[in-house]
Amino acid sequence: MVIFGQHDQATIDQIVRCAKNGEYSVLCADGHKGYAQPIGGVVAYKNQISVSGVGFDIACGNLAVRTDADPDLTQRNIEDIMIEITKKISFGVGRYNEFPIDHQKLFDDKAWNDGFLGSLKQKAKAQLGTVGSGNHYVDIFIDESQKVWIGVHFGSRGLGHAIATHYMKAGGGQDGMDVDPVLLDADSALGFRYIEAMTLAGDYAYAGRQWVANRVLEIIGSKATKEIHNHHNFAWRENHFGHDLWVVRKGATPAFPGQYGFVGGSMGDDAVILKGVPSEVSAQALYSTVHGAGRVMSRTAAKGKFVRDDKGKKQRQQGLVRHDEMHKWLCDKGVFLIGGDLDEAPQAYRRLNSVLEAHAGTIEIVHHLRPIGVAMAGKDIADPYKD
C-alpha cells in the first residue's frame, strides 16, 4: 500500500479494508472518507471489480477546454457570461435539460438492450448535459499565458446512480460508510453486465461534459484549441508490474507518463493542468494522482447541522465556515460566483498546492488556471449523484 499526504485514521482504515482483497492499493493526498472506499483511493484487483469503489457517481470527471477567447473581454464580461451559463445549462438535483440533445450514437449503443438499462434510457436522455449539484461546476479560468479555459466537473447523473444502486444490491452490499466493498467477479454474468453498464455510463458522462463545454464556447463566442478529459470514478483494465488488473479509481485521476489531466481546487483556488511522468514512485502509485484538493471537513461541519429549538422548529446551527468569510475569500481572489454554499467554500477544502506537492516525482504541472467565474447549483440542494 502506498499513501501520499496526511490523513485521518477513518480514511486510512477504509483503504486498509479495501486493500485486503486487492493486489495493490494507493491513497492519494486529497483522500477523505467515502462510501466503502475513500475518495482518493485506488485499488487494483486481479479479476474482480468493486461497485462501491467506482461509486454512485460513475464516471464523474473533469473536462478542461483551452479557448481562443480574448482574456480582457472575458474578464470584463464575466458576470454576464456566468449568468448566461446558468440560463443555458441546467444545475441542480433531478433537473432535465431544457435543450434536449440528439446524441444518436450514444443512445443507439447495444448496451441499452439490457432490460434494466433500457428502463433508464428515457430519463438518461432527458438529463444528458445537466450538471447537478454538490461539488459539480462550470468554471471560467485564465492561465499564466492569459489563455481562457473552460472547466467542467460532473458525472453520469441519475443514470450512474441507478446503475450503482442496482448492482450494489445485486452484489449484496450493506448500508453505511464503514462496510466492505461490493466486489463482483469480472468474468461472472453479473460482473460482465456491470462492466457493460459502467462503460455506458462513462460514454454518457463524456458526452454530457462535452455538450456543456460546447455550450459555454457558444456563449463566450470562441473556439476550442485544446481539450483534456478524464474520468476519476471508474475502473480500467490495465497492466501493472507485469499483471493484467482491474484498477478502480475513486476520486483519483489517471496519470500515466505523458498523460494530461485537469485537476480543480475549490471555488476560490487555482486549478492545474498536469501530466504524469515516469518514475518508480509513479509506478507504485499505479499511475494515479489527485482529482481535487480534498475536503478537510464534512458538508455538515462546514454549513452547520439542523437542530430543533425549544418550540420544535428546525434551525441550522452555525457551522465552521461563515458566509462573510467565504465571500471575502472570493472577493480577494477576484472570483464571480453564482450558486454554491458554505459546504463548497474554499475553507472546507485543502489547498491544492499542498496535495500536489505530496505527489512530487509522479506529475508535472503544465498550467496554473486562475478562476474568474464559477457556476454551481444553489444552496440547500443535496445531490445524491456527487462523488
Q: For the chain, which residues make up each domain, given as ranges? A: 2-375
Cα distances from 121 to residues 80, 157, 250, 368, in angstroms, run 35, 12, 25, 39
pLDDT attached to residue 245: 98
pLDDT attached to residue 380: 55
Grid cell of 17 as nine digits? 479494508
pLDDT attached to residue 307: 77
Question: Can you identify the CATH homologous superfamily of domain 2-375?
Answer: tRNA-splicing ligase RtcB (3.90.1860.10)
* Ranges of the chain whose pLDDT falls below 50: 383-387
Query: Which residue from 37, 208, 223, 235 is spatially nearest to 136, judged by alpha carbons?
Result: 208
Residues 6+ apart with CB under 8 A from 311: none
pLDDT attached to residue 318: 87
Distance CA 387, CA 384 (A): 9
SS3 annotation, 199-268: HHHHHHHHHHHHHHHHHHHHHHCCCEEEEEEEECEEEEEEEECCEEEEEEEECEEECCECCEEEECCCCC
Residues 6+ apart with CB under 8 A from 320: 297, 301, 302, 304, 347, 348
Distance of CA 341 to the CA centre of its chain: 18
Using only C-alpha atoms, the chain has a radius of gyration, in whole angstroms, of 20
How many CB atoms within 10 Å of residue 144?
10
pLDDT attached to residue 100: 82
How many CB atoms within 10 Å of residue 366?
13
pLDDT digit string, tens, across residues 361-383: 999 999 999 999 999 998 655 54
Q: How far from each other are the two terminal CA atoms of the chain, in whole angstroms?
A: 23
pLDDT attached to residue 316: 75
Distance CA 154, CA 206 (A): 9
**Predicted model pTM:** 0.94
